[in-house]
């Protein structure tokens, strides 16, 4: 078995998979082994770009998958440290969208800014101030 490397694989189905890849060439029939494969999509919005990461297959509980060469159009090693960091961070905490410039988008796990009652009271106070003037 060869060394492992971070890479992207384009399948004959059109899917692009990012994973830790190793190649097993036993018995003359090479097999690609993918560890924790994910699909990464780069999106743009007015504030910049961000990367959405999701598992390649969501139902299986396994994290290692085997592919045969005939299902692959192309494969390349990824040396972009930022993409590797996103991948590693996703594996350790899989519910974040990462900004390309390093910022993290807001999520439900980051806590509340205020309660509904507090926000209602503040808005009522602002409304009352505007009526009095």
Q: pLDDT tens digit string along 15-71?
A: 999 999 998 877 777 788 999 999 988 888 888 777 788 889 888 888 899 988 889
Give the phi and the psi of residue 20 in degrees, each rounded to 5: -80, 120
Please give the pLDDT value at position 128: 85
Whether 124 is in a domain gets the answer: no
Q: What angle do CA 105, 107, 113 make, to 5 degrees?
A: 105
Please give the pLDDT value at position 1: 44
Predicted TM-score (pTM) of this structure: 0.63
Please give the pLDDT value at position 31: 85
Q: Is the pLDDT of residue 111 over 70?
A: no
User: CA 115, CA 113: separation in Å to the nearest integer?
Assistant: 7
Whether 127 is in a domain gets the answer: no
Q: Give how many domains the chain has, as a whole number.
A: 1
Whether 37 is in a domain gets the answer: yes
Whether 129 is in a domain gets the answer: no
At 88, which CATH number? 2.30.30.100
Whether 92 is in a domain gets the answer: yes
Give the phi and the psi of residue 32 in degrees, each rounded to 5: -95, 130
Domain that holds residue 29: 5-106
Whether 39 is in a domain gets the answer: yes
Whether 112 is in a domain gets the answer: no
Question: Where residue 119 falls among pLDDT bands split at 50, 70, 90?
Answer: confident
Whether 133 is in a domain gets the answer: no
């Amino acid at each position: 078995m060869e060394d492992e490397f971070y890479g992207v694989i384009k399948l004959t189905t059109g899917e692009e998979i990012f994973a830790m890849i190793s190649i097993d060439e036993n018995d003359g029939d090479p097999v690609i082994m993918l560890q924790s494969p994910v699909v990464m999509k780069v999106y743009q919005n007015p504030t910049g770009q961000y990367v959405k990461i999701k598992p390649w297959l969501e139902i299986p509980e396994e994290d290692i998958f085997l592919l045969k060469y005939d299902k692959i159009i192309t494969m390349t090693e990824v040396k972009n440290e930022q993409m590797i960091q996103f991948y590693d961070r996703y594996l350790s905490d899989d519910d974040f969208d990462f900004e390309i410039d390093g910022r993290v988008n807001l999520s439900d796990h980051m806590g509340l800014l205020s309660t509904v009652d507090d926000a209602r009271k503040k808005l009522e106070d602002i409304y009352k101030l505007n009526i009095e003037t």
